[in-house]
Amino acid sequence: MIPLVDLTAQYHSIKKEIDEAVLSTLESGHFILGPAVTKFEESIASYLGVDFGVGLASGTDALVLALRALNIGAGDEVIIPAYTFFATAGTVMSVGAKPIFVDVDPQSYQIDVSKIEEAITSNTKAIIPVHLYGHPAEMNPILKIASEYGLKVIEDNAQGFGAEYLGKKTGSFGDIGCLSFFPTKNLGAFGDAGMVVTNDPALAERMRMLRTHGWKKKYYSEEVGYNSRIDALQAAILQAKLPYLDSWNEKRRELAQRYSEKLGSTLVIPIEREWGRHVYHLYIVRSAKREELQAFLKQKGIAAEVYYPLPPHLATPCRKFGYKEGDFPHAELAALETFALPLYPELTLSQQDEVIAAVQAFVK
pLDDT at 223: 96
Are residues 162 and 91 located together in one domain of the fold?
A: yes
pLDDT at 364: 84
Task: Give domain status of residue 198, yes or no.
Answer: yes
Q: How many Å apart are CA 307 and CA 304, to the nearest integer? A: 10
**Closest residue by Cα to residue 286 from 269, 308, 310:** 269
* Angle (nearest 5°) at CA 215 between 211 and 221: 120
* Angle (nearest 5°) at CA 272 between 86 and 257: 105
pLDDT of 190-210, one tens digit each? 999 999 999 999 999 999 999
Are residues 136 and 216 located together in one domain of the fold?
A: yes
Task: Look up the CATH number of the domain holding residue 316.
Answer: 3.90.1150.10
Q: How many CA atoms lie within 13 A of 207 on its CB side?
A: 32
pLDDT at 11: 98
pTM, 2 dp: 0.97
The residue segments making up the domain with residue 59 are 7-102+110-243
Task: Look up the CATH number of the domain holding residue 91.
Answer: 3.40.640.10
Cis peptide before 307 (omega within 30 of 0): no
Are residues 234 and 249 located together in one domain of the fold?
A: no
Task: Give domain status of residue 1, yes or no.
Answer: no
Q: For 215, list phi and psi in degrees, rounded to 5.
A: -90, 140
- Phi/psi region, residue 97 (left: phi>0; alpha: psi -120 to 50; beta: rest), is beta
Are residues 289 and 167 located together in one domain of the fold?
A: no
**Closest residue by Cα to residue 233 from 8, 12, 23, 3:** 23
Q: What distance, in Å, lies between the first and last C-alpha atoms of the chain? A: 23
Structurally, how many domains does the chain consist of?
2
Are residues 224 and 301 located together in one domain of the fold?
A: no
Task: Give domain status of residue 2, yes or no.
Answer: no
Domain boundary among 210, 243, 276: 243
Per-block average pLDDT, block size 10, for the chain (364 residues)?
97 98 97 97 98 98 98 98 98 98 98 98 98 98 98 98 98 98 98 98 98 96 97 98 98 98 96 98 98 98 98 97 97 98 98 98 92
**Closest residue by Cα to residue 181 from 253, 134, 233, 238:** 238
Are residues 184 and 294 located together in one domain of the fold?
A: no
pLDDT at 303: 98
- Residue 344 one-letter amino acid: Y
Are residues 219 and 250 located together in one domain of the fold?
A: no
**Closest residue by Cα to residue 154 from 136, 172, 181, 133:** 172
Task: Give domain status of residue 280, yes or no.
Answer: yes
Domain boundary among 243, 259, 283: 243
Task: Give domain status of residue 344, yes or no.
Answer: yes
Domain boundary among 194, 210, 243: 243
Task: Give domain status of residue 335, yes or no.
Answer: yes
When the pLDDT of each residue in the chain is averaged and rounded to a whole number, the result is 98
